[in-house]
């Protein structure tokens, strides 16, 4: 992975990620405005001391600012009460360790929720359910309590319920699998047909329905509001979500890929790329099996990002 800094004069340069024919990646950014970087939850869980040291060197030398997402927060919190098994004998310690890595590495401010980004971008923030609004000081306080707790019982006495987060993820996962099943019933692969256009409309509508806590759907919006929602999926963040979902459907329908309920939360992270100075780091293969262009596809393989950091 290469980092290029050009002579940008007085205009701010747009952050881009270009894939090269040799498999390398160029990250081009304005040195006055270093990118903010957030990581897939599995990357956070797998960080070791060597990787953390390397990331800190990268932050020091390149000015990168590491952030954590609300999806990181929800995913980790939902697993803190898991039952022990042979692979994870102490789930609480495993996921508490991930929160400790976030606390030591990342800016204390969480990124806005994907729902907040979406509803602001389409001009529907006034319909956003309060539960999706990340209170920075409250989240920072909860993160601190997760890091300092001696055990799960201590957190539960303070009112924490991992079951709440797990149920939220399960409901979203059930919807996603049902939505994929309906797509498979259409027949063929995603294209510009009326059937697929209607299916996309239902997808857009669900995102509004979910973010507004069932108060609004696409059909209940005004004509101008509907156009803004549809237009969103042609720009930063939205285009990536749409491309990613279509890619997953092609793999599922044509290649018999197994549907995974976690795909929905993975996909939601791409909404955050509405922020044009944000990079997403993940080794999840589906994110790297298509390319939406240098300005939109600001997704970096963790192996490349880590290798670059370790080389400093």
Q: How many domains does the chain have?
A: 1
**What does pTM read for this prediction?**
0.92
3-28 average pLDDT score: 78
255/23 Cα distance (integer angstroms): 24
CA distances from 3 to 11, 42, 84 (A): 19, 24, 42
**Between β-strands 16-19 and 25-28, what pairing exists: parallel, antiparallel or unpaired?**
antiparallel
**Which phi and psi angles does 169 have, rounded to 5°?**
-65, -40
213/201 Cα distance (integer angstroms): 18
Band of pLDDT at residue 5, cut at 50, 70 and 90: low
Name the maximum alpha-carbon separation found in the chain: 57
In degrees, rounded to 5, the angle at the alpha carbon of residue 270 between the alpha carbons of residues 132 and 305 is: 125
The answer on pLDDT for 284 being more than 80 is yes
pLDDT above 90: percentage of residues in the chain: 72
Dihedral of alpha carbons 118, 124, 129, 133, sign: positive
Q: With b meaning 16 or more CB within 10 Å and e meaning fewer, what string describes 35-70?
A: bbbbbbbebbbebeeebeebbeebbeebebbbbbbb
| Sequence-distant (≥ 6) Cβ neighbours of residue 126 within 8 angstroms | none
Select from 184, 192, 173, 177 the least CA-distant residue to 249: 184
The answer on pLDDT for 1 being more than 70 is no
* Structural domain boundaries enclosing 148: 2-310
299/88 Cα distance (integer angstroms): 29
Local structure of residue 303 (DSSP, 8 states): H
Strands, DSSP E only, in the chain? Answer: 2-4, 16-19, 25-28, 36-39, 65-67, 278-281, 299-300
| Sequence-distant (≥ 6) Cβ neighbours of residue 33 within 8 angstroms | 12, 277
200/18 Cα distance (integer angstroms): 28
Average pLDDT of the chain? 91
In tens, the pLDDT along 121-173 reads: 999 999 999 989 888 888 989 999 999 999 999 999 999 999 988 888 888 88
């Amino acid at each position: 992975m290469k980092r290029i800094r050009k002579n940008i004069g007085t205009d701010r340069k747009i952050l881009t990620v270009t894939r090269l024919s040799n498999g390398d990646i160029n990250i081009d950014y304005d040195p006055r405005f270093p990118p903010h970087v957030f990581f897939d939850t599995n990357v956070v869980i797998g960080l070791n001391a060597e990787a953390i040291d390397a990331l800190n060197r990268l932050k020091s030398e390149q000015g990168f600012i590491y952030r954590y997402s609300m999806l990181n927060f929800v995913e980790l919190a939902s697993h803190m009460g898991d039952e022990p098994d042979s692979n994870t004998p102490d789930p609480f310690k495993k996921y508490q360790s991930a929160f400790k890595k976030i606390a030591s590495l990342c800016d204390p401010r969480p990124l806005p929720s994907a729902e907040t980004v979406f509803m602001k971008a389409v001009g529907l923030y006034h319909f956003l359910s309060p539960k999706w609004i990340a209170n920075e000081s409250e989240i920072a306080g909860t993160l601190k309590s997760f890091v300092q707790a001696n055990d799960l019982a201590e957190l539960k006495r303070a009112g924490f319920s991992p079951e709440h987060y797990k149920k939220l993820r399960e409901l979203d996962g059930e919807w996603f699998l049902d939505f994929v099943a309906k797509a498979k019933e259409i027949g063929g692969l995603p294209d510009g047909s009326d059937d697929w256009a209607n299916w996309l409309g239902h997808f857009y509508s669900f995102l509004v329905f979910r973010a507004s806590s069932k108060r609004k759907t696409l059909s209940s919006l005004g004509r101008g509001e509907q156009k803004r929602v549809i237009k969103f999926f042609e720009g930063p963040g939205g285009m990536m979500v749409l491309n990613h979902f279509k890619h997953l459907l092609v793999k599922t329908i044509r290649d018999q890929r197994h549907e995974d309920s976690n795909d929905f939360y993975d996909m939601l992270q791409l909404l955050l790329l509405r922020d044009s100075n944000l990079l997403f780091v993940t080794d999840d293969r589906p994110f790297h099996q298509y390319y939406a262009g240098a300005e939109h596809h600001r997704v970096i393989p963790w192996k490349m990002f880590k290798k670059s950091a370790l080389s400093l």
